[in-house]
A and B are shown apart, each in its own frame.
Chain A
Amino acid sequence: MGMREQIETAAARYPDRRSAIMPALLIAQKAHGHLPGPVLEEVADILGVERIWVYELATFYTLFHTEPVGRFHLQLCDNIACMLCGAERLLAHMETVLGIGKGGTTPDGLFTLSTVECLGACEMAPVMQVGDDYHGNLDAARLDALLGSLRAHAGRLATVDPASAPSPGE
């Protein structure tokens, strides 16, 4: 299903098309990786709503990215439970290993490193979300293994067919 069809399917769930802006932005972000201005305008046009309505949501909610993010978005929770279980050390470890700071993207575009508020998986703290997946009970060794497998995954995709590479987490 194309982006327009997916958005129309989502819009059919609501009596008011404005309600479909959030689902439409999630669909658009999945398709484009992030939400630059022209994509926001396309969403507004498909739904037939004011562009400002789309812009204001894209900039209010933290899961929407108006700037590009890396192929794998490493979202480390550093809220209370993860903090108590060592999230700070893990952040420092990743900053060293990846050579980037919080909010940065590696030069090869593979990883963006962020800290996020509570992911709601405190029973497996410290936890990090990458794409759709949660990775819990992390320590430095598990993080290294995870980063290695993500790199290998990206490498495999690159050698097979870059055009058919699924988006992160799929």
Chain B
Amino acid sequence: MFEPVLLKNIDQPDSHLLSTYEAGGGYRALAKVLREFTPDDVVELVKQSNLRGRGGAGFPTGMKWSFVPKRADKPKYLCCNADEGEPGTFKDRIIMERDPHQLIEGLAVSAYAIGAKTAYVYVRGEYVTAIRRLEQAIAEAQAKGYLGTGILGTDFAFAVHIHCGAGAYICGEETAMLESLEGRRAQPRLKPPFPAVAGLYASPTVINNVETLACVPHIVVRGADWFRNIGPAKSPGPKLYCLSGQVRKPGLYELPMGIPLRELVEEHAGGALPGRRIKAVIPGGVSAPVIPERGLDVGMDFDSLAAVGSMLGSAGVVVIDDTTCMVKVATRIVEFFHHESCGKCTPCREGLNWAVKVMRRIEAGEGEPGDLEQLDGLCKGIFGNTFCALGDGAAMGLRAALAHFRDEFAAHIEEHRCPFH
């Protein structure tokens, strides 16, 4: 039986308060690193744990930290990406609302590791409750000496600030988020330079996701071996899975990395709604290519999902049943990417606009022969040719829908109507 790690506090009354967090062993990791570890020791520990970023890309966290130059004449920054906008994802919101100190301790330990004195938590503006809870938690932590100057009697000084987003999915892209933090429109930057070298205010910057940072204190307290032994060794750890859509028990589940998608959906989340059958599942937010029901026996980890042409992404698991039209699903997803395209590069801005027009036409029963080939061509024109991963995500998702459910698309064109209406 897997014991929850990241969610162990959340069902307690007042789980968001410092007293609850401390009673569960909170801030012991910060005390331990300040007493026993050099910053390099922390980086090495996180490298050994094989922790990979939970924001979607799965980049090794310790390696990301090690890219920060040891000596720099500029201040270093830690940024937390809490702009959770990937449709189907709500894990970071629940951590921030119900256990904000877990994030703050993760920030403090990580800042110590990379030598940052300031962190900005970029929270999406809609998350009003999360923002209030974080503000309260920062004030509590400051009053108790976990933040501020002379933390726990050492010379470590560290401040956390909240920056509210204002509704732009593209801010999940780390360099777009930095532009936004600097007071500009959120459009991604050309890389290199990578943020570790020149990020926020052209200073060395590390950007980590909420769930990634929340893992860090547990690694400090329980060790790299403990973490690496949960799930697949190359993609290990406790993992938050967001279950939503047409499923009996939607909600947030914490289980080991690598759990089979079928077990997650059918056993933990209770399977299909009464009288219905699962048709397909999106495993990692809408950027992740859809998997038809027959493909559900895949492990929920970065490598296993990549091997079947999809991705773990943000682990936003959206369940779709047999009453739902896949053309409608695919159209809605492409509409989303089109709406959120920042407009910087042509393949994404124009390609998605074009794709939406063709897809709406097909969905309305007004599709024409050649439309599917045109969509294939648009996917090809977008994928790999955009400035950032937003366009790739849109193209990969559409390509998978066209590949797995081509008969549904074709039926709309042949019958001049949606077969599901």
Tell whether, in the assembled complex, residue B85 and residue A118 are in contact, meaning their CB atoms are under 8 Å apart: yes
The verdict on A74 contacting chain B, using a C-beta distance below 8 Å, is no
Given A81-B87, A122-B89, A122-B316, residue A62 in contact with residue B329 (CB < 8 A): no
Within 8 A of A (CB), among B59-109: 84-90, 92-93
- Binary B-proximity of A107-137 (CB < 8 A = 1, otherwise 0): 0000000001111111111000100111000
Total A-B pairs, Cβ < 8 A: 141
Tell whether, in the assembled complex, residue A15 and residue B245 are in contact, meaning their CB atoms are under 8 Å apart: no
Alpha-carbon separation in the docked complex, A134 to B130 (Å):
12
Alpha-carbon separation in the docked complex, A62 to B259 (Å):
37
Tell whether, in the assembled complex, residue B244 and residue A123 are in contact, meaning their CB atoms are under 8 Å apart: yes
Tell whether, in the assembled complex, residue A117 and residue B166 are in contact, meaning their CB atoms are under 8 Å apart: no
The verdict on B8 contacting chain A, using a C-beta distance below 8 Å, is no
Q: How close is B271's CB to chain A, nearest CB, in angstroms?
A: 15
Question: Which residue of chain A lies nearest to B203 when distances are taken between CB atoms in the complex?
Answer: A15
A18, A78, A133: the one contacting B183 at CB < 8 Å is A18
Q: Which A residues are CB-close (under 8 A) to B168?
A: 60-62
Question: Which residue of chain B lies nearest to A124 when distances are taken between CB atoms in the complex?
Answer: B250
Tell whether, in the assembled complex, residue B185 and residue A57 are in contact, meaning their CB atoms are under 8 Å apart: yes
Q: Which B residues are CB-close (under 8 A) to A14?
A: 161
Tell whether, in the assembled complex, residue B336 and residue A64 are in contact, meaning their CB atoms are under 8 Å apart: no
Q: Which B residues are CB-close (under 8 A) to A26?
A: 125, 164, 166
The verdict on A158 contacting chain B, using a C-beta distance below 8 Å, is no
Q: Which B residues are CB-close (under 8 A) to A60?
A: 168, 185-186
The interface centre, meaning the residue of B86, B185, B251, B329 with most chain A CB atoms within 10 A of its CB, is B185
Tell whether, in the assembled complex, residue A80 and residue B164 are in contact, meaning their CB atoms are under 8 Å apart: no
B183, B201, B333: the one contacting A22 at CB < 8 Å is B183
B84, B186, B332: the one contacting A120 at CB < 8 Å is B84
Q: Which A residues are CB-close (under 8 A) to B336?
A: 79-80, 117-118
The verdict on B140 contacting chain A, using a C-beta distance below 8 Å, is no
Tell whether, in the assembled complex, residue A120 and residue B251 are in contact, meaning their CB atoms are under 8 Å apart: no
Given A19-B182, A117-B339, residue A80 in contact with residue B243 (CB < 8 A): no
Question: Which residue of chain A lies nearest to B333 when distances are taken between CB atoms in the complex?
Answer: A80
The verdict on B320 contacting chain A, using a C-beta distance below 8 Å, is yes
The verdict on A84 contacting chain B, using a C-beta distance below 8 Å, is yes
Q: How close is B75's CB to chain A, nearest CB, in angstroms?
A: 8
Tell whether, in the assembled complex, residue A63 and residue B245 are in contact, meaning their CB atoms are under 8 Å apart: no
The verdict on A5 contacting chain B, using a C-beta distance below 8 Å, is no
Alpha-carbon separation in the docked complex, A18 to B201 (Å):
11
Q: Which A residues are CB-close (under 8 A) to B84?
A: 120
Question: Which residue of chain A lies nearest to B89 when distances are taken between CB atoms in the complex?
Answer: A120
The verdict on B318 contacting chain A, using a C-beta distance below 8 Å, is yes
Tell whether, in the assembled complex, residue B320 and residue A121 are in contact, meaning their CB atoms are under 8 Å apart: no
Q: How close is B249's CB to chain A, nearest CB, in angstroms?
A: 9
Q: Which B residues are CB-close (under 8 A) to A20?
A: 183
Tell whether, in the assembled complex, residue B183 and residue A80 are in contact, meaning their CB atoms are under 8 Å apart: no
- Binary B-proximity of A3-34 (CB < 8 A = 1, otherwise 0): 00000000001111011111101100000000
Q: 6 tightest CB-CB pairs across the interface, nearest first?
A: A122-B244, A61-B166, A18-B183, A62-B167, A118-B87, A81-B244
